[in-house]
Chains A and B, each alone.
Chain A
């Protein structure tokens, strides 16, 4: 039997029983529409979340911390320094794998690593002052002379780090306040700190609990572009400078080559290799983490949500499948003599099977088409309503307004349509097989 003749016959047979085919297809319509809407919703949510997460940080950046040894890696073992015994405190073996310069060399040697940059945070409390404004932010010393190595960009000034200057994040100035302001007074506009001298007031306490202050003056040589990440809230200075400040704060001389850095940022050539480099670093015995883990966790969550919601829709499709099986079984019973006739005039078992499978698939297709259309339209409707509502919410509470609530990628309707055809065929398989294997005389004699 030619494919074209098969199609023609299937379409004719289906149009012979419009009412029943239509009613059966409604089940499929509901199921597929549910799948489309629910999965589109999950995808929409994921899209929003990823958009919100976009600025969470550089996904090619790995934060590396001293490790507890872990698995010693062969080969470079000799270049990794292990600090013995925790300074006589004697709490067992606390061998630390330190981030010394030679360890940094080992990190640089990992393939796909673009740069390895130590980072130290200020180990004292600090208040930042500018004119009448005060504020606080995390202060970091970075082991590079250009923040561009970390993928940072400035909106004003340059990313270069030099002595007695700082590069500050976008929110640092925004976050300053006037401490003399009384309640009810209009807060002043945040200051423009670019190219200004600002004061950093550091505090430490002596053994008697007296506060000792140190006042340093630095020039703001750059303001970073807003990124939505930690950098927005940070003040960056050269590593040398933070070393001096920390030595003052702790009263202990720092020898990075002996004690190691407290943190190292490893920048990978591109995010595709982040996890693999991270794993290698962990194998070397250091602690390492990356924002990519977090983002992937969230992505996985939405993948699961898609599957779960798709599954809910699929249950509706299952009910529809039972409907198709029922309709086909009825149809085959009613058309038993017709099946006998087909066989008498020379239709093979395969012809009969193809015809009935085709009809079942046709019901699936009709229902799927309707469901995809309705699901898509409903999704668009939902978008219009939800985006307006969510944009209002975002305006009230701050944050990025969502671009979509429900998102239907092209693959979804195609997949759902194919799936509904498949469902139709699976449901029709048993009835169609029964039709195909009927003994011709019995079918012809059937009353």
Chain B
């Protein structure tokens, strides 16, 4: 692929000041992600996966470095521009679903369209279609508390799609799910990829790699090769005391 990448990251740093010490969640990340790929970000806990995803989604500010998505510099946008950018181009899926508990599945899916000025009829139609697509047409009027974890995450997937984003960002979407539900969600994400969207998933789950076209490995805020990563993981497991 010679076209310019959908995502271009250069020297990206995210540091947190904690009292006297500096936590380097990301410490100089360079990364290119092409449009239409399914990328899995792997790494041990605390390696900076979520930090990377939130920066990519424009939900947080980097300490330094460049992030471009579709050629637009997120690190140079103001709050308002970022919000509009998220609205147009991104769909988020979270580990803890983040559904509004007082709203039905349908209302949750339609939620993002309140800010786009879509007509109510149009909203309901799109939301119903998406619920059908994730296999929950018969659960439209259930509230989150009346749905299983897997069903809730599928509602969240539908919600992420409602503004027809080109980029899907998922932070451990299967982390709170049992094996079967997890696979169903992965299957959904894979379907999205095959329908032409760019998908980026942060996960611990090695099964996710089956669907991935690209893999990124993070260690202590740095991108490393798969080989480095595997040996580091091996070291870690060996140093665990009996």
Q: Which residues of chain A are near B100, meaning CB under 8 Å? A: 338, 341
| Interface status of A271 (Cβ within 8 A of chain B) | no
Chain B neighbourhood of A444, CB < 8 A? 59, 94, 98
Given contacts A346-B86, A349-B80, A440-B60, contact A16 B117 (CB under 8 A): no
Specify which of A16, A340, A341, A346 is in contact with B87 (CB 8 Å cutoff): A346
Q: Which one, B54, B112, B159, B163, contacts A441 given CB within 8 A?
A: B54
Residues of A within 8 A of B217 (CB): none
Q: Knowing A341-B98, A346-B87, say if A439 contacts B117 (CB, 8 Å).
A: no
Asked if B232 CB lies within 8 Å of chain A CBs, one says no
| B94 contact set on A, CB distance < 8 A | 444
**Chain A: minimal CB distance from B36 (Å):** 23
Within 8 Å by CB of A345, from B92, B102, B117, lies B92
Among residues of B, the one whose C-beta sits closest to the C-beta of A4 is B120
Q: Is B77 an interface residue (CB 8 A)?
A: no
Chain B interface extent, by class: 20 to 34
Is the CB of A2 closer than 8 A to any CB of chain B?
yes
Q: How far is the CA of A347 from the CA of B114 in the complex (A)?
A: 9
* Distance, CA A338 to CA B107, complexed state (A): 14
Determine whether the beta carbon of A345 is less than 8 Å from that of B163.
yes
Contact with A along B153-170 (1 / 0, CB 8 A): 000000100010000000
User: Complex Cα distance A16/B241, Å?
Assistant: 51
Closest to B114 in A: A5
How many angstroms from the CA of A369 to the CA of B115 in the assembled complex? 29
A337 to chain B, nearest CB (A): 6
- Within residues 74 to 99 of chain B, which ones have a CB less than 8 A from any CB in chain A? 79-80, 83-84, 86-88, 92, 94, 98
A317 to B84, CA, bound (A): 39
Q: Does A174 count as interface, using CB distance less than 8 angstroms?
A: no
Could you say which residues of chain B place their CB within 8 Å of the CB of A349?
A: 79-80, 83
Shortest Cβ gap from B107 to chain A (Å):
9
Q: Tell me if B111 is interfacial: C-beta within 8 Å of chain A.
A: yes
Looking at chain A's contact residues, is the secondary structure mostly helix, strand, loop, or mixed?
helix
CA separation between A351 and B79, bound complex, in Å? 12
Contact call A343/B92, Cβ cutoff below 8 A: no
Check A145 for interface membership: any CB of B closer than 8 A: no
Residues of chain A from 168 to 221 with CB closer than 8 A to chain B in the complex: none
Contact A345 B86 (CB under 8 A): yes
Contact, CB under 8 Å: A441 / B59:
yes
Which single residue of chain A is at the shortest CB-CB distance from B162?
A345
Q: Is A385 an interface residue (CB 8 A)?
A: no
Whether A1 contacts B86 by the Cβ 8 Å rule is no
* Residues of chain A within 8 A of B112, CB atoms compared: 345-346
User: What residues of B have a CB within 8 angstroms of the CB of A338 in the complex?
Assistant: 100
Distance of A343 Cα from B58 Cα, bound (Å): 10
B79 CB, min distance to chain A CBs, angstroms: 6
Q: How far is the CA of A9 from the CA of B117 in the complex (A)?
A: 13
Q: Which residues of A contact B92 (CB under 8 A)?
A: 344-345
| CA A348 to CA B59, docked complex, whole Å | 12
User: Hey, which chain A residues are within 8 Å of B59, CB to CB?
Assistant: 340, 343-344, 439-441, 444
Q: Do A347 and B117 contact each other (CB < 8 Å), given the known contacts A340-B98, A440-B60?
A: no
User: Of the candidates A16, A345, A440, which one forms a contact with B111 in the assembled complex, judged by CB atoms under 8 Å apart?
Assistant: A345
A5 to B159 alpha-carbon distance, docked (Å): 18
Are B114 and A343 in touch, CB under 8 angstroms? no
* Chain B residues positioned under 8 Å from A16 (CB to CB): 102
Contact of B88 among A340, A346, A439 (CB under 8 A): A346
* Residue on A nearest B117 in the bound complex, by CB: A2
Q: How far is the CB of A246 from chain B (nearest CB, A)?
A: 88
- Chain B minimum-CB-distance residue to A338: B100
Query: Which of A2, A337, A340, A441 is most buried by chain B, counting CB atoms within 10 A of its CB?
Result: A441
Q: Nearest residue in A to B86 (C-beta to C-beta)?
A: A346
Q: Which of B57, B111, B115, B163 contacts A351 (CB 8 A)?
A: B115
- B116 lies within 8 A of chain A by Cβ: yes
B80: which A residues are within 8 A, CB to CB? 348-350
Q: How far is the CB of A417 from chain B (nearest CB, A)?
A: 27
Render B36-78 as a binary contact track against A, CB cut-off 8 A, 1 for contact.
0000000000000000001001011100000000000000000
Q: How far is the CB of B197 from chain A (nearest CB, A)?
A: 16
Query: Which residue of A has the minimal Cβ distance to B100?
Result: A338
The 20 listed contacts between A and B (C-beta, < 8 Å) are: A1-B117, A5-B115, A5-B117, A9-B114, A337-B98, A343-B59, A343-B83, A343-B86, A344-B57, A344-B98, A345-B86, A345-B112, A345-B159, A346-B116, A348-B84, A348-B115, A439-B61, A441-B54, A441-B59, A441-B60
For the complex of A and B, list the 9 residue pairs with the smallest distance between their C-beta atoms, beginning with the closest: A346-B87, A345-B112, A440-B59, A441-B60, A348-B83, A16-B102, A441-B54, A346-B86, A344-B92
Residues of A that sit less than 8 Å from B by CB:
1-2, 5, 9, 16, 337-338, 340-351, 439-441, 444
